[in-house]
């Protein structure tokens, strides 16, 4: 082995010193570089895992919220349908009331018009009776003024009737 060491010109003291330097550099790198890097990587891994767990929790909450929202939407739709049916029924009742009231008003108007027509008819009949009476008096006066024979009387009556 010594021949080998002499052949390659290896100095044992120098080799031990280099190994010691190498060990010191490794120790320094381990404590000042590798350890903080590993700590940062561990923290980063923990943050990523926590973010993934939070994402799963958020997704579950989102699904629950979506289901609740859908349920609330369905309930609101049912309530709206109920309100619409109630409003329709109420509108139908009001329409029927208005129709009944309109029919009553039309009936009252018809009755009033019938009464007016009856009164006008009575008035016209009175006027006709008065006219007929006047006519009869006038015919009678003419008949009395003139003593006519039956032929003349018939002609006079026919002309008066016309």
Cβ neighbours around 93 below 10 Å, total: 10
25 vs 152, more confident: 25
pLDDT at 91: 93
* Domain ranges, ordered by start, for the chain: 2-161
Q: How far apart are CA 73 and CA 53, in angstroms?
A: 30
Structure tokens that stand for 45 in this block = 């891994």
pLDDT in tens, 8-28: 776 778 889 999 999 999 999
3-state SS class at 9: coil
DSSP-derived letter for residue 33 is I
pLDDT at 111: 94
Cβ neighbours around 143 below 10 Å, total: 14
**pLDDT band at residue 143 using 50, 70 and 90 as cut-offs:** low
pLDDT at 140: 75
Structure tokens that stand for 80 in this block = 């709206």
Structure tokens that stand for 161 in this block = 């009737």
pLDDT in tens, 84-138: 999 999 999 999 999 999 999 999 999 999 999 999 999 999 888 888 888 877 7
Q: Which residue stretches of 9-34 are H helix?
A: 12-29
């Amino acid at each position: 082995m010594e021949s080998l060491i002499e052949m390659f010109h290896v100095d044992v003291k120098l080799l031990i010193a280099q190994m010691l330097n190498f060990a010191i550099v490794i120790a320094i790198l381990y404590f000042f570089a590798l350890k903080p890097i590993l700590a940062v990587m561990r923290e980063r891994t923990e943050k990523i895992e926590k973010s993934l767990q939070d994402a799963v929790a958020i997704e579950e909450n989102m699904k629950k919220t979506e289901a609740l929202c859908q349920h609330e939407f369905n309930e609101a739709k049912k309530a709206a349908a109920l309100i619409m049916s109630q409003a329709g029924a109420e509108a139908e009742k009001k329409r029927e009331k208005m129709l009944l009231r309109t029919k009553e008003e039309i009936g009252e108007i018809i009755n009033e018009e019938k009464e007016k027509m009856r009164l006008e008819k009575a008035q016209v009949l009175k006027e006709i009776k008065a006219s007929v009476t006047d006519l009869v008096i006038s015919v009678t006066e003419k008949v009395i003024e003139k003593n006519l024979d039956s032929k003349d009387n018939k002609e006079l009556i026919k002309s008066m009737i016309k």
